[in-house]
Amino acid sequence: MWLFKKKGESGFSYSSTAEEVTIGIDGSGLIAIVTGASSGIGAETTRVLALRGVHVIMAVRNMTAGKDVKEAIVKEIPAAKVDVMELDLSSFDSVKKFAADFISSGHSLNILINNAGVMAIPFMLSKDNIELQFATNHLGHFLLTNLLLEKMKETACETKREGRIVNVASDAHYVTYPEGIRFDKINDQESYSKFSAYGQSKMANILSTYELAKRLKEDGVEITANSLNPGAISSNLFRHMTIINGLVSTIGKLLLKNVQQGAATTCYIALNPQVKGVSGEYFQDNNLATPSKKARNMDLAKKLWDFSMDLVK
């Protein structure tokens, strides 16, 4: 439909693909980490970054699937630089091991893309006894970012190139619990709603991005932090919702973005020079957007930051 092709200020639209928003960009010399890179928009993000010359570290829970994706990318792009490392975001020990292994590898780090996630799953606790959606979608990435931040600061300082942190959130943050973040009921199974819990974790992505951007600015470092809504995408993220998954399989191609379009905003923020110096913003369809009022509450963002820091210690 014409509405999907209407271009915003960036010159791109809902229908733009990851390749289109990065045409002509040379990412040679850049190193990026992409979480959840073994499928969906994570795999497409990896492919397009590699196509533009970026050395991509695929951070994946399923190593077999990750290696299959790497093999397919290298087959298509023989010059691609892609490595696969194991990361289970629902486990603080796994996150710490990944960060330690990456730092000991001697790699620099220009781009961190926090993409992985689970959606609308039944109530479960993580290995650290925290509700699984909050633990995986927010806390795992929160810890990973903080553990890698010094490496990103070093890289930005040494290379004189802007570092970029990209948090993949969702407009599902509008469908959270009334209080936004249930600090005193994170593990309350009795009042658990799988959709509200997912929305809560996505709101946490946005709030933590605002607080991180503020801290980076105060530190005076050349690193930006932005969040985004990739849009509704036909992918395996719906696998825990049987009825919806069936609908996605049958009519998704008509009504939802494909993975090439779904990965576009992530790649736009990660590589496009139009976004240089832009930090603490929310993007959608490759253009600036505005999240909910609650997701822009800086007091809530600071409270979440402190709460998260206590949980990951």
pLDDT digit string (tens) for 165-212?
A: 999 999 999 999 999 999 999 999 999 999 999 999 999 999 999 999
Q: How confident is the model over 47-72, as a mean pLDDT? A: 98
Phi, psi dihedrals of residue 157, rounded to the nearest 5°: -70, -45
Catalytic residue of the set 14, 192, 198, 282: 192
The side-by-side arrangement of strands in the sheet containing 55-60 is 82-86, 55-60, 31-35, 111-114, 163-168, 223-229, 282-284, 287-289
- pLDDT tens-digit series, residues 267-305: 999 999 999 999 999 999 999 999 999 999 999 999 999
Q: Supply the pLDDT for residue 2.
A: 42
Average pLDDT over residues 37-60: 98
pLDDT in tens, 212-255: 999 999 999 999 999 999 999 975 554 444 554 454 455 545 57
Residue 248 is predicted with a pLDDT of: 47
Q: Whole-angstrom Cα distance, residue 81 to residue 134?
A: 32
Give the pLDDT confidence of 61-109 residue by residue, as tens digits: 999 999 999 999 999 999 999 999 999 999 999 999 999 999 999 999 9
CA–CA dist 197, 177 (Å, integer):
7
Which residue type, as a one-letter code, is found at position 44?
E
- Report whether 119 contacts 198 (CB < 8 A): yes
Q: CA-based angle 69:194:145, to the nearest 5?
A: 50
Asked about 210 being catalytic, the answer comes back as no
pLDDT on residue 240:
45
Residue 280: CB atoms within 10 A of its CB come to 19
Rounded CA-CA distance 7/125 in Å is: 42
The structural domains of the chain, ordered by start, are 3-312 (3.40.50.720)
Q: What is the pLDDT of residue 111?
A: 99
H/E element, 159: helix 140-159
The token pair that represents 272 in the structure block:
């496009």
Average pLDDT over residues 135-155: 98
What local confidence, expressed as pLDDT, does residue 207 receive?
98
Is the pLDDT at 117 greater than 60, yes or no?
yes
The pLDDT score that the predictor gives to residue 235 is: 55
Which residues are 289's β-sheet partners? Answer: 282
Q: What is the pLDDT of residue 275?
A: 98
- pTM of the model as a whole: 0.93
Sign for the CA dihedral angle at 126, 293, 178, 193 comes to negative
The pairing of strands 82-86 and 287-289 is unpaired
- CA-nearest of 171, 198, 146 to 306 is 146
